[in-house]
């Protein structure tokens, strides 16, 4: 098998593709940020939601620098010159990415300052700039500073006894230029003031001072006006907010790690002080101060980002929650339940009656919580096994597992400690579960447990009066996280199918115990069968097309990067297979290239909800195989993660997946972006009736679709 990290040989024949056949991963990821930014620019999106999308872009870019740029910088520092699958070296990629990111951030702040903030002000939601404060506002803000801000600040003058402080990742800081002598007769030119994270970055003023119930000031403006209070008898020549972003990936050496949880806890404390990769400063920052800060952090001008406004737009995400203006937000909706789950339903009886497919957020996540809660309280349930990747700090599911363990049930939880940025929450849940008596395991070192599986073993009476064990299984495309289930689109299957239950049991045995991988009847599992089976299903469509038969592939996922899969799709296209790919984010495949990918279409849907479900459809000579799962078509998902894809066996549920998970997205002409052969995304034209997948699903499912 070709090494997935190695680009195909440009001179090779027999199907191997040259590097130009692939789109650069980092540039593709930035193209996704542009599609999110377009939501903020869209006047049809409610105004406060446009502000949220603007904040989402900043949050996404933070993670992009912490992980992707951090990785590129590390490669360059270690002398890495090997090209990615698109043929670009790390240094060339970093140069292109830096230019594109600067352009995106410039557009983001122009949209904020020239469009969104004026539109908010017209609606009575005002962000008061300090040069527009009146005397009453200035007095209130000064009093607020003295009471709420000054007591928690620690100014640090820079001299031989006070070196430049360690600056936390993404923290708000102020660099102050001073003139004069301090109490000890020292001429201190520069000082640093770090704003504790407990301080709010946006402060609401009383209505009587602003004439509106929604008047705000930024903490940075409060600091600018009052920073002189920290340096008595000295003159402030300048005060500049800045923020540094650091490489936040964790590194663990398998040969050195003896206790995974302890090792991760040790690494988490260092995450805030990883290598610097970006410096953000306000656009009023002097050149001298910018150069000084770059020198302190070992960065270059390429790494400097000047912002015409606050340096952390993520903190504006609180404002829509504070402002009670339903007319400026998405309309609320109530997720429904499948008909089989009538009022006061017994979840086990409902699953015995039929397989249940849940489509979040249009249908409630409540049945998943009810399944675990009922299992925890049911005396006939003897065992519960579950994987946990992301679940949040406040989880009814985890609390139910704790209660189940405390009541003496056999509870086994596979907690993934390396779920990026959720490590601390997962460690805390692992400790609570262990204290309650649950068996907690951390998967297999080197393989993230990304599969979404829940299995409940229940003792039930048979027809002849005997008792037997029955397995109830939930398999999903998304996390066991009630909050994200409200704005991520995902599918979940509840079943007591004996063969699927047996497969799930085998996967749990592999993760928690030792032994060879067993052949599974229905589930496809990474790192074993998932990649070869997906390749085989693509190649089967290719063979059918070459024989003149109807062949069709439709796949929906977050990311598409794995070279062998891409190469197989190119070969399928050349054989005449019709291929539609719905890829929310990164896509390295280049569609529509004559002679290579004529029959491949790639679209991305960006809307109110984060598209998260993975669906894989193969016509299969009329059998129409449909698999759902948690795995994208990426090298990491196929080879470095424990993943599960599961088939939809019930014909009625197959039709539902097509009706809800595929066709609306292929018909969407409102939120769809089409990827062209040059690697650019263009909005799909809206000729004919307006079709929005998410809006249609909200209308159909939340109004009680007959299933």
Query: Which residues are designated catalytic?
Result: 450
How many residues does this entry show for the chain? Answer: 707
Q: Which residue has the tokens 């520069």?
A: 190
Cα–Cα nearest to 549, from 627, 624, 620: 620
Q: Which residue has the tokens 């078509």?
A: 633
- Omega prior to 527 cis, within 30 of 0: yes
Q: Which residue has the tokens 């004919």?
A: 688
Cα–Cα nearest to 251, from 235, 231, 236, 268: 268
Cα–Cα nearest to 583, from 25, 2, 54, 81: 25
User: How far apart are alpha carbons 213 and 544 in whole angstroms?
Assistant: 65
Residues 230, 153: contact at Cβ < 8 Å?
Answer: yes
With residue 138 as reference, give the H or E element that holds it.
helix 135-144
Q: Which residue has the tokens 């600056």?
A: 167
Three-class DSSP labels, 644-665 = EEEECCCHHHHHHHHHHHHHHH
User: How far apart are alpha carbons 217 and 128 in whole angstroms?
Assistant: 5
User: How far apart are alpha carbons 637 and 381 in whole angstroms?
Assistant: 33
Residues 577, 551: contact at Cβ < 8 Å?
Answer: yes
Nearest-10 crossing angle of helices 563-575, 530-546? 10
User: How far apart are alpha carbons 305 and 540 in whole angstroms?
Assistant: 50
User: How far apart are alpha carbons 675 and 684 in whole angstroms?
Assistant: 10
Six-digit token string for 313: 């737009």
User: How far apart are alpha carbons 314 and 52 in whole angstroms?
Assistant: 9
User: How far apart are alpha carbons 687 and 337 in whole angstroms?
Assistant: 34
Q: What is the DSSP string of 444-475?
A: BTTBEE---EEEEEEEEE-TTS-EEEEEEEEE
Cα–Cα nearest to 599, from 544, 564, 551, 666: 551
Burial class (CB in 10 A: 0-12, 13-18, 19+), 342: exposed
The secondary structure of residue 625, as a DSSP letter, is E
Six-digit token string for 13: 């024949």
Six-digit token string for 109: 């702040």
Q: Which residue has the tokens 């939501």?
A: 39
Residues 268, 293: contact at Cβ < 8 Å?
Answer: no
User: How far apart are alpha carbons 282 and 313 in whole angstroms?
Assistant: 12
When computed from its CA atoms, the radius of gyration of the chain, rounded to whole angstroms, is: 28
User: How far apart are alpha carbons 64 and 367 in whole angstroms?
Assistant: 35
Pairing of strands 190-194, 304-307: unpaired
Cα 639 to the chain's mean position, in Å?
20
User: How far apart are alpha carbons 468 and 487 in whole angstroms?
Assistant: 39
Report the SS3 class of residue 25. helix
Cα–Cα nearest to 601, from 655, 544, 560: 560
């Amino acid at each position: 098998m070709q090494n997935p990290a190695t680009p195909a040989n440009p001179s090779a024949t027999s199907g191997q593709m040259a590097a130009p056949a692939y789109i650069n991963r980092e540039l593709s990821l930035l193209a996704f940020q542009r599609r999110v930014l377009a939501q903020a620019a869209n006047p049809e999106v409610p105004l406060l939601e446009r502000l949220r999308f603007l904040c989402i872009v900043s949050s996404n870019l933070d993670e992009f620098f912490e992980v992707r740029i951090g990785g590129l910088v590390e490669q360059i520092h270690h002398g890495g010159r090997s090209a990615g699958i698109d043929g670009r070296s790390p240094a060339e990629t970093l140069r292109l990415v830096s230019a594109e990111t600067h352009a995106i951030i410039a557009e983001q702040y122009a949209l904020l300052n020239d469009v969104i903030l004026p539109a908010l002000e017209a609606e009575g939601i005002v962000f008061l700039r300090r040069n527009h404060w009146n005397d009453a506002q200035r007095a209130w803000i000064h009093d607020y500073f003295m009471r709420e801000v000054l007591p928690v600040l620690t100014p640090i003058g820079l001299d031989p006894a006070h070196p430049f402080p360690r600056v936390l990742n993404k923290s708000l800081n102020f660099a102050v230029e001073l003139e004069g002598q301090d109490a000890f007769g020292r001429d201190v030119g520069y000082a640093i003031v770090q704003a504790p994270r407990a301080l709010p970055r946006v402060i609401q003023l009383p209505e009587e001072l602003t004439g509106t119930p929604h008047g705000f000031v930024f903490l940075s403006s409060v600091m600018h006006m009052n920073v002189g209070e920290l340096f008595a008898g000295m003159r402030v020549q300048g005060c500049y907010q800045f923020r540094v972003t650091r490489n936040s990936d964790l590194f663990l050496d398998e040969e050195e790690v003896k206790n995974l949880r302890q090792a991760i806890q040790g690494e988490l404390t260092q995450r805030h002080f990883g290598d610097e990769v970006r410096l953000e400063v306000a656009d009023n920052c002097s050149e001298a101060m910018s150069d000084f800060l770059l020198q302190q952090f070992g960065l270059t001008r390429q790494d400097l980002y000047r912002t015409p406004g606050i340096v952390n737009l993520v903190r504006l995400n609180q404002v829509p929650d504070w402002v009670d203006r339903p007319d400026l937000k998405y309309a609320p909706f109530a997720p429904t339940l499948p008909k089989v789950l009538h009022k006061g339903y017994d979840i086990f009886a409902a699953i015995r009656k039929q397989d249940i497919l849940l489509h979040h957020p249009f249908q409630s996540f409540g049945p998943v919580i009810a399944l675990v809660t009922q299992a925890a309280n049911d005396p006939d349930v003897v065992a519960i096994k579950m994987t946990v990747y992301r679940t949040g700090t406040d989880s009814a599911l985890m609390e139910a597992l704790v209660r189940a363990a405390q009541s003496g049930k056999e509870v086994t939880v596979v907690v993934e400690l390396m779920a990026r940025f959720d490590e601390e929450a997962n460690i805390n849940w692992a400790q609570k579960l262990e204290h309650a008596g649950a068996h907690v395991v951390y998967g297999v070192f080197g393989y993230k447990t990304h599969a979404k599986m829940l299995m409940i073993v229940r003792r039930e009476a048979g027809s002849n009066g005997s008792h037997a064990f029955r397995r109830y299984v939930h398999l999903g495309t998304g996390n066991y996280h009630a909050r994200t289930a409200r704005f991520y689109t995902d599918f979940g299957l509840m079943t007591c199918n004996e063969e699927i239950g047996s497969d799930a049991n085998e996967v749990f045995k592999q993760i928690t115990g030792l032994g060879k991988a067993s052949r599974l009847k229905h589930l496809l599992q990474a790192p074993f069968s998932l990649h070869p089976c997906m390749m085989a299903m693509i190649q089967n469509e290719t063979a059918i097309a070459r024989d003149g038969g109807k062949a069709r592939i439709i796949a929906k996922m977050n990311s598409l990067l794995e070279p062998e899969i891409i190469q197989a799709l190119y070969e399928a296209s050349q054989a005449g297979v019709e291929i539609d790919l719905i890829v929310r984010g990164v896509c390295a495949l280049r569609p529509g290239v004559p002679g290579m990918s004529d029959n491949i279409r790639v679209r991305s849907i960006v809307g109110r909800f984060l598209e998260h479900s993975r669906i894989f459809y193969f016509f299969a000579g009329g059998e129409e195989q449909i698999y759902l799962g948690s795995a994208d078509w990426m090298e990491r998902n196929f080879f470095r993660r424990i993943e599960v894809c599961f088939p939809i066996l019930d014909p009625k549920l197959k039709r539902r997946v097509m009706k809800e998970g595929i066709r609306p997205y292929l018909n969407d002409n409102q939120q769809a972006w089409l990827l062209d052969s040059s690697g650019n995304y263009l909005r799909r034209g809206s000729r004919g009736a307006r079709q929005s997948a998410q809006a249609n699903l909200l209308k159909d499912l939340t109004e009680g679709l007959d299933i």
